[in-house]
Amino acid sequence: MNLIIISPEKMIYNGKVSAVSVPGKNGRFTVLHNHAAIISTLVKGSIDYKTEEGTSSLEISSGLVEVNKNNITICIEQ
The residue type at 26: N
Mean pLDDT within 28-37? 96
At 78, is the pLDDT very low, low, confident or very high (cuts 50, 70, 90)? confident
Task: Give the model confidence (pLDDT) of 50-75 as tens digits.
Answer: 999 999 999 999 999 999 999 999 99
Mean pLDDT within 31-53? 96
The pLDDT assigned to 30 comes to: 97
